Amino acid sequence: MVTDRFCNGDTTNDVNFGRTKPAAKFRGFEGGDIKGVTKKIKEGYFDRLGVNALWLTPIVEQIHDGTDEGTGLSYGFHGYWTRDWSALDPNFGTEADLQELVTTAHAHGIRIVLDAVINHTGPVTHSDPEWPSDWVRTGPTCSYKSYETTTACTLVANLPDVLTESDTPVELPPFLLEKWKNEGRYEQQTAELDAFFKATGYPRAPKYYIIKWLTDYVRKFGIDGYRADTVKHTNPEVWMALKTQCDAAFAEWKKAHPESVLDDNPFFMVAEVYGYGVSGGRNYDFGDHKVDYFDHGFDAMINFEFRWDADKDYAFLFGKYAEKFATTLKDVTVLNYTASHDDGNPFDAKRVKSFENANKLLLCPGISQTYYGDETARLLVVDDATGDAKLRSPMNWDAIEKDASTQAILEHWQKIGRFRGRHVAVGAGTHTVLSTTPYVCARQYAQHGISDAVVIGLDLAKGAKTIAVTGVFKEGQKLRDAYSGQETKVKKGAVTIDSPFTVVLLEEVH
C-alpha cells in the first residue's frame, strides 16, 4: 500500500513542516498514516482478505518542501524522497505508532515489510539542502545502456544519487547534525553510529550509514522484511550487506522479545529490479553484465512480467509459472502483481476484470501481491491526474460501504485470499492440470513436515458440476468447496458441487 493513501487514522498529523502549498492532483499528502493501517488490522480487514504480510511504502522523514518534476508541485507523500533515515515522518506517525503496528500485525499473524531506499536522497529544494559531494552525485542521468550507466548515475534530474559504490569514509552532513542537536538526538545517534561501526568494522562510507539506520527499524521494532527500492541502480554488494545486518538485527530483536516472535522464519528481502521478469531466470541482464540478485541477499524478486502474462488464459499462466519454479527458478521465488504504485501499464487498468484479476493473481504459483484497492476495483485511471499519480488515488472505503458491485468484488477476493492463506500448496505446490475445458488443476505440497493438497476449478458451469480428483484426494475423503461453503465426499474419484458460482476451491475437511 501507499501509506499516505490507505487510511487516515490520525487527522492531527496531516500537515507538518509547513507543507501547505497547493499540490497537483494526488501529488500532495492525503492523510493516510500508520495508525490507519493498524486500525484496519484491528478491524480484521486483512484477516478477511487472507493477507499475511503488509508492504508499506517508506515511512522515514521526507523532504520538507515540494518540487515540480514537470507534473506539478509534488510532496514526498510516497516516501521515496528521504531527508533523514533515522526518523519517521510525522505525517506517517510516531515510533509508538510503528511499534503498535508491528505488535498488532503480529497478533494477527501478519508480517510487516517496510521499503528500503539506499540509492538516493530526496530532491533539493529551498528548505532541503543537497547532501555533501562525498555522499552523492548529481549527474549524469542514467541512460541504461550498460551496467555503469544504470548504477553510477541519477534516476532523474534533481534526485541526488548516493555514492553506494564508495568505501571512502565520510563525515555526517552538517545539516543532519544540526537537526539532531535541535531535536535532542545528537548524542544518542552519534553513539549508536560509533557502536555500529566498531561492531561491524565497516568504513564510515555513505551506504553503511544508511544500512545502520535501516536496520534500526528491525532491531527496535521487529519489522519482518524489506522491499528494496531501485535495486539495479546500486551495486549488488550493498544489498548483501543490508541483508547481513538485517539478519543480525532480527536475531537481536527476537532474543529480546521472545513473546512476540511469530516463528523461526528468517528476515525477508524482496528486490525491485525494474524490468526483471521470470523469463530471465535468476539473472538480470544489463547488456554488458548479468547479476543474480538471489545471490546478493534477496529471497524474492518482483516480477514485472506477470501483468503481461495475465492477459493469457489460465492454462498458459499457471503452466508457465509452475514450469519456471520447477526449473530455472527452482528453490527461489518471485512476487507477482497486476497493479502497483509505479507501473503505468497495469493489468485491467479500467477495472473491468476484477474477478478474473483475483483468480489469476491469487491462484498463480509464486508470491501474490495485492496492491491496495485491487480487491475493491479502486480507480487506476483518474481524471486530472498525470503519470503515476493516477495509480495512487485514496483507498475507496466509501464504495465498500455503499456499492453492491464493489462489495461483490471484495467478497470474491476475500474467499480466494483466505483459501490461498490456508494452503501453502497454492503458491508453492506442484501443479497438475486435471482438465483443460473447463479448467481444473491441482496443487500438492509435501515438504518440511507439511502436507497440503487442493483442487481449483475455474470458468465452470453454474449449478451442478462434477470434478475429477483422482490422484489428489482419496476415495471417501470429505472435502469442502471453500468458495460456496458446501461439503462433499469423493465418490468414484470425483466430487459434485451444486452452486451458483463458476469457481470451485476444494480443500480437505479435517
Residue 353 belongs to what H/E stretch? none
pLDDT of residue 141: 97
User: How far is the C-alpha of 121 from the C-alpha of 106, rounded, in Å?
Assistant: 31
Q: Do the beta carbons of residue 269 and residue 240 sit within 8 Å? A: no
Q: Quote the pLDDT of residue 136.
A: 98
Which among 33, 53, 36, 32 has a CA at the least distance from the CA of 108?
A: 53
**The pLDDT value given to residue 392:** 98
Question: Which residue is listed with cell 529471497?
Answer: 299
CB 392, CB 2: distance < 8 Å:
yes
421 CA to centre of own chain: 16
In three-state secondary structure terms, 492 is coil
Q: What is the pLDDT of residue 344?
A: 94
Active site residues: 229, 272
Cis preceding linkage at 174, omega within 30: no
CA pair distance 309, 365, nearest whole angstrom: 13
pLDDT in tens, 349-383: 999 999 999 999 999 999 999 999 999 999 999 98
Strand partners, 238: none
Provide the pLDDT for residue 195: 98
Largest CA distance in the chain: 77
Kind of pairing between the strands at 225-228 and 111-116? parallel
Beta-bridge partner residues of 478: 489
Integer angstrom CA distances of residue 44 from 48, 52, 102, 108, 395:
6, 12, 15, 8, 16
Using H for helix, E for strand and C for coil, what is the string for 397-454? HHHHHHCHHHHHHHHHHHHHHHHHHHCHHHHHCEEEEEECCCEEEEEEEEECCEEEEE
Cα-based distances in Å from 183 to 92, 171, 189, 233:
18, 20, 11, 33
Q: Is 255 strand, coil or helix?
A: helix
Cα 336 to Cα 411: distance, rounded to the nearest angstrom: 21
Radius of gyration of the chain (CA): 24
The pTM assigned to this predicted structure is 0.97
| Residue position matching grid coordinates 545471490 | 295
pLDDT digits (tens, 9 = 90+) for 250-308: 999 999 999 999 899 999 999 999 999 999 999 999 999 999 999 999 999 999 999 99
Whether the CB-CB separation of 236 and 296 falls below 8 Å is answered with yes
Beta carbons of 239 and 298 less than 8 angstroms apart: yes
Residues of the chain with pLDDT under 50: none
∠235-238-240 over CA atoms, to 5°?
A: 120
Residue 374 is predicted with a pLDDT of 98
**What pLDDT does 10 receive?**
98
Half-sphere exposure of 185 (CA within 13 A, CB side): 12
- Which pLDDT score is estimated for 151? 97
Distance of CA 353 to the CA centre of its chain: 22
3-state secondary structure 108-164: CCCEEEEEECCCECCCCCCCCCCCCCCCEECCCECCCCCCHHHHCCECCCCCCEECC
